[in-house]
Amino acid sequence: MAPSAISVLNKTGIELLMESGAGVAAGFPDSEYIEKGVKVAGSRAEVFRTAEIVLQVRSPGANPETGAGDLDMMRAGQTVIGFGEPLTSPDTARQLATRGVTFYSMELMPRITRAQSMDALSSMATIAGYKAALMAADSLPRMFPMLMTAAGTVAPARVLVIGAGVAGLQAIATARRLGAVVSGYDIRTAVREQIESLGARFVVLQVDGAGAEDKGGYAKAMGEEFYRRQRELLGGVLAEQNVVITTAAVPGRKAPVLITREMAARMAPGSLIVDIAAERGGNCELTCPGETVEFGGVRILGPVNLPSTIPYHASQMYAKNIATFLKYLVKDGKPSVNLEDEIVRETLVTHAGEVVHPRVREIVG
């Protein structure tokens, strides 16, 4: 919760209890919460012991630092809402069910009109795409814009963004604002208009991208032959770029490898790859999550948890998403579980001692 989002919950009858110092690193001191009527707890354990509903950013399954400790403090009948990566951390989902926790996963929010204001995945992708372009501009040994100076003309940097989801479109828009010549590529040809509306060139490859999008608007995994052909054609495009920003991810699956070692070797020394799919294994074969790798003069950045590097606005956007969702769930001062409702059904992972989400149940077995 950011202080600005608390007013959304004022008429629900919810009383807020916060871990002391939880907002400090994002620029929100305890005093701002106290002014809004929030009670500040002395410890994290007190929050888990007292709260009927726990709101988190990274819940167990998505939190390698403190997730296991949080899981131990959760109790039967408690509702937990946060990112939990249940499709890739099914064991944690099983443990949440065993403890009797009702868990809602924010990354499973359906992409429907009613849920737009609750779509935290898109909020975080917006920040990741923006920051990826800034990282590229900061790390590239040349400037993004074209400049005409007394010392001669500086040619603009050439930037290719692979993947035109929320993150990719934001990366394109930011790189364009910084003055680069930007191209965008996505297997979904339907996004061509969006890429071109931002002033970027749409890269056309002779591969069949039919069926590359699911009903929720997310990219679907394709066959290996498709990716082989795609890499073959992309290699020539990459060789002309100074910066490549990769954003291709498939929910619940390892990120597809779009850039091989051989493709990276074709790029000019001093070029840069920013792989924001690093946490999912990376779109580049050479990516190491959390590290910068140098290969033949090309640097490959594998940033993780990019939203946390812009904590003020990441918190503000996420707080609006989660407060709107919480208000939607609470009826007469209590959280209700209405499985007839698509938003509830798609985000609910565990309830009443069971894993209830169909896709997660299938993975858990």
218 assigned to active site: yes
Give the active site residue among 30, 44, 111, 328.
Answer: 111
Report the C-alpha gap between 155 and 58 in whole angstroms.
Answer: 42
Please tell me which residue in 56, 59, 99, 119 is annotated as part of the active site. 119
Selecting among 7, 43, 116, 336, the annotated active-site residue is 116
Q: Is 111 a catalytic residue?
A: yes
Establish whether 116 is a catalytic residue: yes
Q: Which of 218, 253, 345, 359 is catalytic?
A: 218
119 is catalytic: yes
**Active-site pick, 56, 95, 122, 271:** 122
Residues with catalytic function: 111, 116, 119, 122, 218
